């Protein structure tokens, strides 16, 4: 039997606070597929891993 690691789902507001950007920027990142998201009953949710991957990619580009 495999145990799945729970994935934390963040709201757009949570991501705004983590990235220190506005709501429209978060939706732009989602729209342009630079940030992965899902919809749960019409509510947009972003896996915390997706935010960390986004940050790692951009830190790597800046170096």
What does each of the 63 residues of the chain score in pLDDT, given as a tens digit? 566 777 899 999 999 999 999 999 999 999 999 999 999 999 999 999 999 999 999 898 776
| pTM of the complete model | 0.84
Q: What is the reported pLDDT for 2? A: 65
CA distance 63 to 5: 31
Domains of the chain listed by start with CATH number: 9-62 (1.10.1660)
Q: What is the reported pLDDT for 1? A: 58
CA distance 61 to 9: 26
């Amino acid at each position: 039997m495999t145990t799945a690691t729970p994935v934390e789902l963040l709201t757009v507001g949570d991501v705004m606070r983590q990235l220190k950007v506005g709501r429209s920027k978060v939706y732009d990142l989602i729209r342009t597929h630079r940030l992965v998201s899902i919809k749960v009953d019409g509510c947009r949710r972003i896996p915390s891993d997706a935010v960390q991957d986004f940050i790692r990619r951009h830190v790597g580009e800046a170096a």
